[in-house]
Amino acid sequence: MVESRRNWGKVRQTRSGRYQASYVHGGIWGVTEGTRFTALSTFDTNGDAWAWLGRERELIDRGTWTPPFERYQQLEQERIEAERARRAAEALPTIEVYGLRYVDREDLSAGTRERYRGLLKHYILGEPATSNRRGMTKGESVVAHGIGSIRVTELTRAHVRAWWQNIPVKTRESSCRQAYDLLRAIMNAAVEDELIDNNPVKVKAAAHAQVSRERDLAPLPIPVLFRVADAMPERLRLGVLLGGVLGLRSGEVRALQRRDFSLGGNMPTVTVTRAVKEAEGKVEIGALKTARKGVASRTLPIPAALLDAVKAHLRDHTQIGRSGLLFWRASDGDPIRSAAWLKIFKKSCAQVAADLEAEAVKLTAATGEPESDESQRVRELLTDQGGYIFHGTRVTGLTWSYRLSGGNLKAVQAIGGHTSSKTALRYQRADVDYLAAIAANVSSMIENGTNS
């Protein structure tokens, strides 16, 4: 073995050819001997060994020296703690993992679960669209940057604010707000699970975005509602009237069966207990969407003006048997899909708009009078933003129910099958005709007061 010494410390070459470094430290000159400290590992070269001794000497000179083995133990403990922290962090779910767990809950209806999955996938995770449906382009992402890879515990208000600023709020306000509400619900669940202390999903601008287009829809004038119904295929005409007069949802209309109607006695009624559900490619009839909140059915009186139409439909267009559907697909007898129903409805709305325009042109040619503002407003209502949607018939029915009941929210809540009066308040709408009638009443009151 070769040994070399300098002013401080020594290096020796072992039989294996590697180099071992050591030094003496501590003790009192001439009284007690110091302790020899040896490097915990050998070195490849003589220079490496002396370099280690140099670093040890610097620690002694700075007064920060501790025995090499104690330093090794400290570093090893820090390494173990860092590894433990890394594994603990990896065990915490990301927004994607936790979000998928949230939207796959069994207490959600199939339709809600499917809608949540779409919002999470395209608006929160930022995955490309798989089809050209609902204004999306296949292969393109709705958002520039998703936040699915961020861990639930690491999501900050800055992350949420940046995400909100990069989603298409101007062109898809309703979907963006629904995605925001979903993200907030996911993080509220994280608070309840004690993963985080506070929910970081707080964006002031998002609070002003509208949740759904339903709130923007204006009710149709009753004569226009009947014109749209008349433009539908005869076998579907009654569905528009049931939606627009009784305020039924699309799924409720399409799930109606012969046994739901009671036409004898002084007060004919229809009982609404089912709705068509569409999720994961399946179409089936299930409970009402409000059943889980205690509203499993509602019985509505049928106005005399609809009675003949109901009887004719039950006689001519309804499937045979008590459970026969009022509206069904000729191909297999199953309930009509929402997309097919809406397509036919929008086509009828477009036809009525075209008829109104033709009538206006004819009137102008005959009398020189321009098209009335009301006619133009109705045409725009029927055709703007891709066309009037069938849910607008429910808006029509419940808005008129609110007015004719004198603003009785409980009545509207019962007719619409709402679980709260807050929801019923959505139908407290004021369109041009209604405001004009109020203005006329105010004018009469002023004139009567002046004359007296």
Write out the two tokens for 212: 């759904």
- Alpha-carbon torsion, ordered 114, 210, 392, 442, to 10 deg: 160
How many Cα atoms occupy the beta-carbon half-sphere of 46 within 13 Å?
A: 10
Task: Give the relative orientation of helices 373-383 and 338-367 as an angle to the nearest 10 degrees.
Answer: 160
Sign of CA dihedral 174, 97, 281, 276: negative
Domains in the chain and their CATH numbers?
3-89 (no CATH), 95-211 (1.10.150), 222-432 (1.10.443.10)
- Quick one: pLDDT at residue 443? 59
- Quick one: pLDDT at residue 32? 84
- Quick one: pLDDT at residue 183? 94
The CA distances from residue 232 to 85, 132, 167, 342, 351, in Å, are 65, 27, 38, 11, 9
Which residues, 6+ apart, have CB-to-CB distance to 276 below 8 Å? 250, 251, 254, 255, 283, 284, 285, 335, 336, 338
Write out the two tokens for 188: 């509220």
Rounded CA separation 403/440 (Å): 16
Which residues, 6+ apart, have CB-to-CB distance to 280 below 8 Å? 110, 114
Rounded CA separation 396/429 (Å): 10
Rounded CA separation 327/99 (Å): 37
Walk along the chain (452 residues) and give the pLDDT tens digit of each residue: 556 667 789 999 999 999 999 999 987 777 788 899 999 999 999 999 999 999 999 999 999 999 999 999 999 999 888 888 777 666 688 999 999 999 998 878 777 888 899 999 999 998 887 776 666 677 788 887 889 999 999 999 999 999 998 888 877 888 888 999 999 999 999 999 888 899 999 988 776 554 444 446 788 999 999 999 999 999 999 999 999 999 999 999 999 999 999 998 788 999 999 999 887 678 889 888 777 777 788 999 999 999 999 999 999 999 999 999 999 998 999 999 998 999 999 999 999 999 999 999 999 999 999 999 999 999 999 998 888 999 889 988 888 888 887 778 788 888 888 777 777 676 665 554 555 555 566 656 656 655 55
- Quick one: pLDDT at residue 442? 61
Where on the phi/psi map is residue 404: left (φ > 0), alpha (ψ -120 to 50), or beta?
alpha
In this prediction the pTM is 0.62
Give the bridge partners for 270, in sequence order.
Answer: 261, 300
- Quick one: pLDDT at residue 24? 92
- Quick one: pLDDT at residue 211? 46
